Structure 1
Amino acid sequence: MRTGGTQEMIKIALGLAALYALICIAVYFGNRVLMYFPDPSRVPPAEAGLDGVEEVELAADNGVTLVAWHAPAREGKNTILYFHGNAANAANRAHKIETMRQDGSGVFYLNNRSYGGSDGRPTEANNVADAIAAYNYLVGRGVPPERIVAFGESLGSGQAVRLAGERPVAAVVLEAPLTSTIDVARSTYFWLPLSLLITDRYDNARNISGVTAPLLILHGAHDRVIPVEMGKRLFAAANEPKRLEIFPQGDHSDLLDHGAWEKARAFLSTLR
């Protein structure tokens, strides 16, 4: 009986180990499916209620065409180079774009690959390369680097941080930024070796050291997607000059309702 029981326990242990290995394999090969939730709908800016906003196409690597919305800045104003989160596109951020334009600022909203009519598939490497392509497009259109503000929302904070570490910008604004995708996933999948499984890490906690432009971090105290502690950790790791604004009633996607853009506008006004 004792031998039979031991063999049964070994079988159970081997079965659990095999199941664990299968889960790890599935996460490794499928982690991007769990990270990106693209809405491919291509909606003209006018249909989203925006006047004076141009839809433009950018040629990216490997023949990929990216779709972006561009509202040119008034003379002497900054252009917000906007990188979105994992489930947004330009159309469902139309109100936000309009809010940013109210003082004459320009906005260049890049739809990442598979989002908003853009071709291709999103990966960290692709998204960072496309962020630089969008930056180069603006510079080529006559927008000086000292008038470009890298704005990253949620997962898009990774693009903004990497861009600002490689190109000169006027400032960086991060809305609900993460320290890394591994840190976000760890709160739920703590029992998996995530550092070995997640391919797109967006390691802002490491990359923020390369940012020397003025930095503003906006975060909601009740953020249920990316905890406010991550914004605080990122702020602590960042170079000066920097500012952290925490919204006591804010969640993840409602910071504009709590005055976030007013804070951002005031911050940007100090740069002149």
Structure 2
Amino acid sequence: MPTSDGESLIGWYSQAAPGCPTLLFLDGNAGGPAIQSGRWRRLHAHGVGFLGLAWRGYAGSSGQPDEAGLHQDARAGYDWLRARNIAAGDIVVHGFSLGSGPATRLAAERETGALILEAPYFSLLDLMQQKLPLLPVGLLLRNRFRSDVWIGQVEAPVLIVHGDGDRLIPPTQSERLFELAAGAARTRIVMPGSDHATLARDGLYDHVWPFLDAGWGEEGALPTCSGLAFGAR
């Protein structure tokens, strides 16, 4: 996939079953599609399409990662899906960890069917200030990923999932972010015992399927996803 600043991104894509949404997955730091095979199996088994991006500089994508570049990468993935005639309302943006920042901004700037945030931060700036209270983080940190600025502008339904055992991004980060989310169509789930990178393994999608079903269900404003078989991991 080409980006607006001339980079070339690698992505893994699976077409959705008729009437089902397509998930744009924005991974964490140094992640790549090859290590997320468990996610892809779960989505594919339920008829949900997906595009898993490799950030610039990782897993075969060109360029060097920085905040501005990652936002461009997220837009490139969205635009690639739209160019395949996937309706904006059928795109679900899913950001994990570092990817939650670009996901939040993308959902604020572009029309989407829903936003899923997995182990997100309030902002990277706030997180680093919390972890390094004795350092002038505000002066030193170039990449700030201000999800707190963008979350209130997201009009799509929002699902936030965090583990109460997360040692990298404390769940208080997503709690505060949830409080800023606009509208009534927002849900936050705290999974007991889950760490930062174990949510998918521990049953994340048991919460994702009902959330999507509410949007793509029989009475929902979004198209019915008749191919979904909710309830299985």
TM-score, structure 2 length as denominator? 0.90
| Counterpart in the other structure of 1:199 | 142
| Counterpart in the other structure of 1:254 | 198
8 A Cα contact 2:26 2:96, kept in partner: yes
1:132-181 per-residue CA deviation (whole Å, 9 max, x = no partner) reads: 11111101101101100000000100111010111000000000000111
Task: Tell me if 1:215 matches 2:154.
Answer: no
Q: Between Structure 1 and Structure 2, whose CA radius of gyration is higher?
A: 1
Task: Please point out which of 6, 11, 19 is paired with 1:76.
Answer: 19
What SS does the aligned partner of 1:270 have?
Answer: helix
Task: Tell me if 1:264 matches 2:174.
Answer: no
What SS does the aligned partner of 1:137 have?
Answer: helix
Task: Tell me if 1:139 matches 2:98.
Answer: no
Task: Tell me if 1:109 matches 2:52.
Answer: yes
Q: 1:242 to 1:125 in 2, by over 3 A?
A: same
| Counterpart in the other structure of 1:87 | 30
- For 2:136, the aligned partner's letter is P
What SS does the aligned partner of 1:244 have?
Answer: strand
Structure 1: segments with no counterpart, 5+ residues: 1-57
- After TM superposition, the structure 1 = structure 2 runs for residues 160-199 of structure 1, keeping only pairs within 5 Å, are 160-199=103-142
What CA distance in whole angstroms lies between the structure 1 residues aligned with 2:20 and 2:31?
26
1:196-249 per-residue CA deviation (whole Å, 9 max, x = no partner) reads: 111111111121111110000000001000000011111111012100010011
Structure 2: segments with no counterpart, 5+ residues: 217-233
1:107-155 per-residue CA deviation (whole Å, 9 max, x = no partner) reads: 1011110111000011111111121111111011011011000000001
What SS does the aligned partner of 1:199 have?
Answer: coil
What SS does the aligned partner of 2:131 have?
Answer: coil
Paired residues in the alignment total: 215
8 A Cα contact 2:11 2:51, kept in partner: yes
TM-score, structure 1 length as denominator? 0.77
- For 1:127, the aligned partner's letter is L
- For 1:257, the aligned partner's letter is R
- For 2:98, the aligned partner's letter is L
Runs (4+) of structure 1 exceeding 6 A deviation are none
What CA distance in whole angstroms lies between the structure 1 residues aligned with 2:58 and 2:36?
12
What CA distance in whole angstroms lies between the structure 1 residues aligned with 2:4 and 2:151?
26
| Counterpart in the other structure of 2:228 | none
What CA distance in whole angstroms lies between the structure 1 residues aligned with 2:130 and 2:175?
17
8 A Cα contact 2:4 2:76, kept in partner: no
8 A Cα contact 2:114 2:158, kept in partner: yes
What CA distance in whole angstroms lies between the structure 1 residues aligned with 2:182 and 2:149?
12
Q: Which structure dedicates a bigger proportion of its chain to helix? A: 1
Per-residue deviation, 1:87: 2.8
